[in-house]
């Protein structure tokens, strides 16, 4: 009986464990890597969102909010922005979420697609910032910081709708 215990816990078992761990190490690198297919699908979804936002924003005033879920000022202005969306049919509202690094990366892609990269780069660390842009030209008309006065936004939207002087 003593011999059986030594042999079971001895060399044979150690060899089996070593082989098992070696296989885990060899295969673990590929098993722990995320699937390329997942990221391709995810990228297509992000690209589709960018395309839809770009298509709609060409004819409408673009209102962009730099947002973070943890930002109290963002929560402060949200009811005003929600009301603005309901009352102003000629705007395209885009929220650039910078709550996490992955969301900030998606927002950077969206900003690039909308041709407002400079605005995003300058304001990505300033949550509750709202920019109003002219349709098609993407000229920045107004920037607001933690402003919940709806009339200020409406005035900027009207200014954005005015024809550009040449």
pTM, 2 dp: 0.67
- Count of domains for the chain: 2
pLDDT of residue 30: 46
CATH number, domain of 45, equals 3.40.30.10
Residue 47 pLDDT greater than 60, yes or no = no
Torsion of CA 40, 67, 115, 158, to 10 degrees: 140
In a domain, residue 17? The reply is yes
Find the domain containing 14 and state its range.
2-31
Let me know if residue 166 belongs to a domain.
no
Please tell me whether residues 79 and 152 are part of one structural domain: yes
Verify that 100 and 43 share a domain, yes or no.
yes
71 and 130 fall within a common domain: yes
User: Is residue 54 assigned to a domain?
Assistant: yes
Cite the beta strand spans of the chain per DSSP E. Answer: 61-67, 91-97, 129-133, 140-145
In a domain, 75, yes or no: yes
104 assigned to some structural domain: yes
Burial per residue of 56-84, b for 16 or more beta-carbon CB atoms within 10 angstroms, e otherwise? ebeebbbbbbbbbeebebbeebbebbeeb
Asked if residue 37 has pLDDT above 70, the reply is no
pLDDT digits (tens, 9 = 90+) for 100-120: 999 999 999 999 999 999 999
* Same domain assignment for residues 6 and 64: no
Q: Is the pLDDT of residue 55 over 70?
A: no
């Amino acid at each position: 009986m003593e011999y059986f215990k030594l042999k079971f816990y001895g060399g044979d078992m150690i060899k089996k464990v070593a082989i098992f761990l070696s296989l885990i190490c060899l295969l673990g690198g590929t098993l722990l890597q995320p699937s390329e297919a997942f990221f391709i699908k995810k990228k297509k979804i992000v690209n589709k969102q960018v395309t839809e936002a770009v298509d709609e924003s060409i004819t409408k005033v673009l209102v962009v909010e730099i947002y973070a879920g943890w930002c109290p000022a963002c929560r402060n202005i949200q009811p005003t922005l929600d009301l603005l969306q309901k009352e102003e049919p000629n705007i395209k509202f885009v929220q650039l979420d910078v709550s996490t690094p992955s969301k900030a990366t998606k927002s950077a892609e969206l900003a690039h697609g909308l041709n407002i990269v400079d605005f995003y780069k300058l304001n990505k660390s300033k949550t509750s910032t709202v920019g109003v842009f002219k349709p098609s030209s993407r000229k920045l008309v107004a920037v607001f910081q933690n402003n919940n006065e709806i009339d200020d936004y409406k005035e900027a939207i009207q200014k954005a709708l005015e024809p550009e002087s040449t």
